[in-house]
Amino acid sequence: MSKIPLVKPDKSRHEYVVGIDFGHGETSAAYCKLEWDKDAGQRESAVSDIEFAGSLRVLPSAISITLDGREHIGSDAFRLDSMTSNTKTRVCFKQCPEDIKGEPEQLMIAYMRAVYAKILEKTDKLKKGNHIVYIARPSGWKDDEVKDLYKRMAIAADIPLGGLTSESRAAIFYAMNKDEFRKNISRGGIVFDLGSSTLDFTYLTLDDPSSIIDDGEPCGASLIEQTIFEQLLLKDDRFSDFLKKYPACKDALLFKVREEKEAVYNRIDMDTSVRVKIDLEQLSSYLEEKDAAKYEDVALKLKFSSVNAFNDWLEQTCHYKTRIKEAIKNFQTKHLRGKEVYGVYLAGGATRMNFLKPLVAEMFQLSDEQVKSGGADSSLVVSRGIALLGTVDAIVDVLRKDLEKERVELQYMIFRKPDTIRNEKKS
């Protein structure tokens, strides 16, 4: 296989590093300024989030492609004017790549290209050629061929790619810069990164930073919307009939379910009743005229006394909390024998689910204070970490080259013949 043409950091051209987290459920990005002329202790390491629309810093991982090739991403993929029976719409489509020419991979490349174009459109400081991009991969993607294929996909999307790192390592690099977690990680800490498709763990102790451990399990939060979709929507004759006639609407309905799930866990008061409504209103442009009245009032309505009651239903239906516990036990058994854990940092948008923090504290036998969270910014931890890590990588790469150049020049001066030196002095 040919060598992957990664972009090399260049202090004469590159002013910024961009970090992008192409998540299964949502996408975020951030950037840092490359302070080439400052010493390590003088660099601010400030990271700025990309705002995709207004103040929106997280983009739903969704894309629609019309027959004429126009692409709409994020919530725009489900606008009524962009959804027709001829539109190809997908949500939560990221998967481990196998063939760059495959349909899922080509869809991901189209999404990557559209996201990168949106980043340039929305960020005045970023111009073609003045930045370098680093992206993340799930920690479970350990095979070198898979990593290389993912890099090639990014390059095919016209991204000026400088490198690839695991999502969990990016998250722990960001967490290391947070005062509330640094004291725990000095003796042994874990970043618990729960996204839409995977749960990633990274263990690190600053007493032995070379012993970083990361691993992942395929038990992301998309299992929740899949459960609602399969156990409720598909068992409802009205929705089942609709999807048989309009199978292209499946992903749009999944997106609607995901929105309702997010609304449940984003509420401030977890004790108030939970009401969920899923209807076909946003899919009206797909319908044939004769079906408009038939499906007009089709809706699934759920009601629970509280968020905890909703959690109990999920556990009974798909054993989601049990799956998270099993994933933690597997990581403990495989990687943590004889190791101490003094703190856990929760990252990833799915860690906003209210049952996770006490569950993690229980499984690792920690106090509530020892389990820290990114809070409202949990979805941004990985992209911020990639930008920071990429900045360090770019500066170190250039410093290494400069030192190598100086070493070669010094060797040349030392080992030149004396006659050559004398001749230079005479001239």
Q: How confident is the model at residue 177 (pLDDT cuts 50, 70, 90)?
A: confident
Residues 6+ positions from 48 with CB-CB distance below 8 Å = 30, 31, 32
What's the angle, vertex CA 150, arms to CA 145 and CA 152, rounded to 5?
Answer: 95
Q: Which residues pair with 353 in a beta bridge?
A: none
Share above pLDDT 70 across residues of the chain, in percent, rounded to a whole number: 89
- Poorest-pLDDT segment among 32-46, 66-80, 141-155, 404-418: 404-418
More confident residue, 367 or 216: 367
Provide mean pLDDT across the span 164-186.
80
Q: How confident is the model at residue 421 (pLDDT cuts 50, 70, 90)?
A: very low
- Whose CA is closest to 107, among 119, 122, 89? 89
Mean per-residue pLDDT of the chain: 86
Token code pair at residue 240:
């089942």
Residues 91/74, Cβ–Cβ less than 8 Å: no
Provide mean pLDDT across the span 133-149.
91
Using the 8-state DSSP alphabet, how is residue 381 labeled? H
Q: Please determine, for residue 427, whether its predicted confidence score (pLDDT) is greater than 60.
A: no
Tens of pLDDT, residues 351-367: 889 999 999 999 999 99
Q: Which residues pair with 49 in a beta bridge?
A: 30
Residues 116/20, Cβ–Cβ less than 8 Å: yes
Using a CB cutoff of 8 Å and minimum separation of 24, what contacts does 3-8 make? 4/148, 4/151, 4/152, 4/155, 5/155, 6/151, 6/161, 6/162, 6/163, 7/132, 7/133, 7/160, 7/161, 7/162, 8/162, 8/397
The listed range with the strongest mean pLDDT (69-73, 110-114, 245-249, 297-301) is 110-114
Provide mean pLDDT across the span 244-272.
85
Residues 249/242, Cβ–Cβ less than 8 Å: yes
Q: Please determine, for residue 413, whether its predicted confidence score (pLDDT) is greater than 70.
A: no
More confident residue, 117 or 375: 117
Task: Report the distance separating Cα 29 and Cα 234, nearest Å.
Answer: 35
Task: Report the distance separating Cα 180 and Cα 172, nearest Å.
Answer: 13
Q: What is the pLDDT of residue 276?
A: 87
Model pTM greater than 0.75? yes
Tens of pLDDT, residues 28-44: 999 999 988 776 555 66
Q: What is the pLDDT of residue 328?
A: 96
Task: Report the distance separating Cα 224 and Cα 229, nearest Å.
Answer: 9
- Helix, strand, coil shares, percent, the chain, to 5: 50, 20, 30
Residues 72/111, Cβ–Cβ less than 8 Å: no
Q: What is the pLDDT of residue 51?
A: 94
Three-class DSSP category at 244 = helix
More confident residue, 338 or 328: 328
CA distances from 203 to 211, 217, 324 (A): 8, 15, 17
Q: Please determine, for residue 206, whether its predicted confidence score (pLDDT) is greater than 80.
A: no
